Amino acid sequence: MNLNYQRIHHWRLKYLPTRTYTLILASVIGCFSGLAAVLLKTSVHHLYTFLSTGWEIKHEHIIYTVFPLIGIILTVVIVKKFLKVNLGHGIPSIIYAVSKKSSRLRPLMMYSRMVTSFITVGFGGSVGLEAPIVVTGSAIGSNVASFLHLDYKKRTILLSCGAAGALAAIFNAPIAGVLFALEVILIEFNIASFIPLLIASASGTIVSKILLGEDVMFAYELKDKFLFSDILWFVCLGFITGLVSVFFARINHGVDKLFWKFENPFMKAMTGGIILGIIILFFPPIFGEGYSSIKNLLAGNANEIINNSFFQSFNQNKSYILLFAFLLVFIKMFASSLTIAVGGSGGLFAPALFVGGVTGFCFSNAINQLRMFKLLSESNFVLVGMCGLMSGMLSAPLTGIFFIAEITGGYELFIPLMIVSSLSYMTFTYFETHSIYTKQLVMSGNLYIGDKDKQVLSQIDMDKLIEKDLKTVTKDMTIEEMTQIISSSKRNIFPVVDEDEKLLGILLLDDVREIMFDEENRKNVKVLEVMHDPPAIVDLHDPVDLVMTKFESTNAWNLPVTNNLKYVGILSKAAIFSSYRNTLKRI
């Protein structure tokens, strides 16, 4: 630390209590996250306006099919040639940082997602801006905390404050911002983290209100009241949105796995962009985030979603509109997953809202077309359907409830929101153990949910605990020759290796103690005759919880570590216990 920082640090410790200091930082981070959200929203809006005006040709919507291809290719070029990073999925990268990287995010992430998502979404990629903005806010919080040399707990809180402030600013929904940070990002919640999140979320919202007024990404004023006679239908919608969430999560995983096989990123981007363009040619609502289509459904203008497509001649036929909307549900799932899988930058928050809203419309509109029951409020079902997908696929039921409550300006739909949210979440978790954000992390062993011991162990860097300076011996060495090595060694364990440094076994001092004092035997007995297999062998890439399982099952205190069969060093249980205690204190 330089002299100026030391002076500021000492002044802060003397005059500013830690709690107050954290709240001030939370407010500052919330403001900067809100500013980033406003900047990205307005820049994407201006880019979209620029691209969508000035065309004076017949079937001008066909032009739009080329834009996503351009956007994805530009994104890949920027990522590979300039940023030189692997974007991957946004929110999982934050969760991974909290779980495995002590909540440290690279400074590059404070702007990289903004640049790439601006291009991808601005050119019509079928994803949302929410995840990139949340990543940006989280990176701001993490890097501010790192710059000020704060510990892991405070760094995690400020990282979450950035996420809460960013999401709150996008929708002017401060409570939803707080709950999203608690449900999705924070591994463990305590009351100490709640107040800073509130401050950051409120600060982000204030910045957004000052700069944009009521021009938020999505807002709606309720027209129809909730009727208790509709309860049964909302129960059905809850189960349906849960199943749709499962299907969305599995499509996303499948598409991601399919395009992972492409080795050339530019060929992958070209292929994905062409497929996405063809989809948009037949289904124009897939272009971009899709909020305009949701607004049309809420306004009762369902026929607008079929306009500017090859099927617009059927825009007065309710059955065709329903069929078109039904197809949109599944096509949006594929298109959003495709955009990210081939190199585009964006998130699945907006697609989840789109799919949920259209699912709610399809369900209520189908019931109404039967003319066998009392007419349902399609706008209410669109809103509650959005909550259902957030609760299921994103595994954020409280966020879903309060998000819809805030964007509609009241709690008129609170009861159906609670019903659909809980049933959707319950249905999703019946089929899928983990959310779309955490599934890959858990499968790869980079996240442990609900297991404190494993979570702490996952943060231990095993490579730093390996003793790599132990003396090794060869199998053809005599005990007399080995005596010289023993005399200069500080440990009583000796790995036996061959000429290629591959581990053959181990030898303990107790194994040769008697032979060492027998002048005749020590000249004749070779290491090969007295060495033995280790109780277990640790691979350099084994997760720490698996390493502990090996220690417990063998009752060993020291185990050799290998990498591709080659000896690396010795790992002791005592070193892991010591690191465990230190990590536990830190978090």
Q: What is the number of structural domains in the chain?
A: 3
Tokens of 529: 């005759």
For 3-35, what is each residue's pLDDT tens digit? 566 666 667 767 778 788 889 999 999 999 999
As a whole number of angstroms, the distance between CA 380 and CA 357 comes to 10
164: amino acid identity, one letter: A
Name the least confident of 156-170, 319-333, 439-453.
439-453
- State the CB neighbour count (10 A cutoff) for residue 2: 6
In a domain, 223, yes or no: no
Asked whether residue 117 falls in the same domain as residue 261, the answer is no
Q: Which is more confidently placed, 584 or 484? A: 484
Q: What is the C-alpha radius of gyration for the chain, rounded to an integer number of angstroms?
A: 29
In a domain, 217, yes or no: no
Torsion sign (Cα): 150, 134, 169, 226: negative
As a whole number of angstroms, the distance between CA 106 and CA 141 comes to 11
Would you call 581 exposed, middle or buried from its count of C-beta atoms within 10 A (0-12, 13-18, 19+)?
exposed
In a domain, 221, yes or no: no
As a whole number of angstroms, the distance between CA 230 and CA 71 comes to 43
Would you call 195 exposed, middle or buried from its count of C-beta atoms within 10 A (0-12, 13-18, 19+)?
middle
Asked whether residue 351 falls in the same domain as residue 270, the answer is yes
In a domain, 191, yes or no: yes
In a domain, 222, yes or no: no
Average pLDDT, the chain: 86
Asked whether residue 551 falls in the same domain as residue 428, the answer is no
Asked whether residue 441 falls in the same domain as residue 461, the answer is no
What pTM does this model have?
0.81
Asked whether residue 312 falls in the same domain as residue 295, the answer is yes
- State the CB neighbour count (10 A cutoff) for residue 149: 11
Asked whether residue 305 falls in the same domain as residue 334, the answer is yes
Q: Give the pLDDT confidence score for residue 1 in this predicted structure.
A: 47
Residues 361, 377: contact at Cβ < 8 Å?
Answer: no
Asked whether residue 406 falls in the same domain as residue 483, the answer is no
What residue numbers bound the domain in which 488 lies?
454-586
According to the per-residue pLDDT averaged within each range, which of 183-192, 341-350, 574-583 is highest? Answer: 341-350
Asked whether residue 339 falls in the same domain as residue 432, the answer is yes
For 455-480, what is the mean pLDDT?
A: 79
Confidence bin at 57 (pLDDT 50/70/90):
very low
Helix (H) or strand (E) holding 399: helix 397-407
Helices (H) and strands (E) in the chain, counts: 25, 6
Q: Give the pLDDT confidence score for residue 368 in this predicted structure.
A: 93
For 484-504, what is the mean pLDDT?
A: 84
As a whole number of angstroms, the distance between CA 281 and CA 413 comes to 36
The DSSP output letter for 182 is I
Confidence bin at 98 (pLDDT 50/70/90):
confident
Chosen domain end from 418, 445, 472: 445
Residues 318, 369: contact at Cβ < 8 Å?
Answer: yes
Chosen domain end from 405, 423, 445: 445
As a whole number of angstroms, the distance between CA 158 and CA 164 comes to 10
Chosen domain end from 414, 445, 476: 445
Comparing CA positions, the residue from 160, 148, 143 lying closest to residue 198 is 160
CATH code for the domain in which residue 197 is found: 1.10.3080.10
Which position has the token pair 């004023």? 221
Q: Give the pLDDT confidence score for residue 540 in this predicted structure.
A: 87
Residues 173, 392: contact at Cβ < 8 Å?
Answer: no
Q: Give the pLDDT confidence score for residue 218 in this predicted structure.
A: 64
In a domain, 356, yes or no: yes
According to the per-residue pLDDT averaged within each range, which of 265-274, 309-318, 487-496 is highest? Answer: 265-274
